[in-house]
Amino acid sequence: MTEEMAQARRLVAQAGRIVVLTGAGISAESGVPTFRGAGGLWKSHRPEELATPEAFARDPQTVWEWYSWRRGLIAECAPNHGHLALARLALGDTPTTIVTQNVDGLHTRAAHEAAGDTDPSPALPVEVHGAIDRDKCSLCAVRTPGATSVDTSSHASLPRCATCNGMLRPDVVWFGEALEPEILSRAFQVARDADLCLVVGTSALVQPAASVPLATLQSGGTLIEVNIELTPLSAEAEVSLLGPSGELLPELLDAGPAP
């Protein structure tokens, strides 16, 4: 075990309350592409062409094609050892909240898998950017349970709201849109209440989510970062564990005495 890992394990063992902020990197080993970096989704698609309300208003068919493709891809993926280690942590004795920027639902699936016949709710994530497998109306914001199957062959066949006939869209947060206020304030509250923040697989570039760990720091807590590369948050972290989260999180979090 490296000295960094030993130090990180001691910090976890001593923590009274933990918040975890995850990003796309935690799902990379499940086969979900990240946004930025090698193989990232933005390499082939410009975000302003796909992940903004303006893009949807201009060309809903292209936006729906991208989301249908991603829904299909995510449906084939399963939680990895990183998601499962976090779910076990949150179901354990130290009060822990998982805050995720991911829309892929893999933390939720890991919570159910790790809980088995017990209550999964302590391991259910606070999803600050929404969920890809739900739709909402772009006009009246009514949510539809489950994802509509979308025929992207023509503009005319795109799904519409049963209440107001507005265009349905994926229930995710695009650039320039406000995050759900109650969800955002819950994320910052649990970060302020925590004495340890574990930041996993995020480039920490997208606001306001990237500031969640700063709330823990400002209330006197400590950061541990897990990422394959350094990020703007690395300088603030007590320990940076460099490597894939699917390997490092079980080593960090799974039972065994802290060294």
Q: Which residues bind Zn ion (CB under 5 A)?
A: 137, 139-140, 142, 161, 163-164, 166
Is residue 69 close enough to count as binding ligand BJW by CB under 6 A?
A: no
Is residue 40 close enough to count as binding ligand BJW by CB under 6 A?
A: yes
From the list Zn ion, ligand BJW, none, pick the one residue 45 interacts with, judged by a Cβ distance below 5 to 8 Å according to partner type.
none
Is residue 245 close enough to count as binding ligand BJW by CB under 6 A?
A: yes
From the list Zn ion, ligand BJW, none, pick the one residue 173 interacts with, judged by a Cβ distance below 5 to 8 Å according to partner type.
ligand BJW
Is residue 101 close enough to count as binding ligand BJW by CB under 6 A?
A: yes
Q: Which of 81, 83, 107, 129 is catalytic?
A: 129
Residue type, 134: R
The candidate with the shortest Cα–Cα distance to 97, out of 25, 190, 14, 188, is 190
Cα dihedral sign for 190, 191, 192, 197? positive
The candidate with the shortest Cα–Cα distance to 34, out of 228, 256, 237, is 228
Prior bond to 33 cis, omega within 30?
Answer: no
From the list ligand BJW, Zn ion, none, pick the one residue 34 interacts with, judged by a Cβ distance below 5 to 8 Å according to partner type.
ligand BJW
Is residue 207 close enough to count as binding ligand BJW by CB under 6 A?
A: yes
Contacts of 124 (CB under 8 A, 6+ apart): 98, 107, 108, 111
CB 249 within 8 A of CB 223: no
Is residue 201 close enough to count as binding ligand BJW by CB under 6 A?
A: yes
Per-position x/- string for 133-152, each x denoting binding to ligand BJW as judged by CB under 6 A, each - no binding: --------------------
d(CA 245, CA 45): 26
Is residue 60 close enough to count as binding ligand BJW by CB under 6 A?
A: no
Is residue 84 close enough to count as binding ligand BJW by CB under 6 A?
A: no
- Name which position in 15, 19, 74, 103 contacts ligand BJW (CB under 6 A): 103
Q: CA torsion angle for 120, 102, 105, 73 (degrees, to 10)?
A: -160
Judged by CB under 6 A, the number of residues near ligand BJW is 35
- Name which position in 96, 97, 203, 240 contacts ligand BJW (CB under 6 A): 203
Strand partners, 18: 96, 196
Tell me how many degrees the CA angle 145-147-153 measures, rounded to the nearest 5.
140
Q: Where are the alpha helices (DSSP H) in 104-143?
A: 106-115
Is residue 28 close enough to count as binding ligand BJW by CB under 6 A?
A: yes
Is residue 250 close enough to count as binding ligand BJW by CB under 6 A?
A: no
CB 155 within 8 A of CB 60: yes
Query: Rounded to whole angstroms, what are the CA distances from 214 to 18, 119, 237?
Result: 14, 30, 10
Question: Annotated catalytic, 129?
Answer: yes
Binding stretches for ligand BJW (CB under 6 A): 23-25, 28-29, 34-37, 40, 51, 101, 103, 129, 172-178, 201-203, 205-208, 226-229, 231, 244-245
Residues with catalytic annotation? Answer: 129
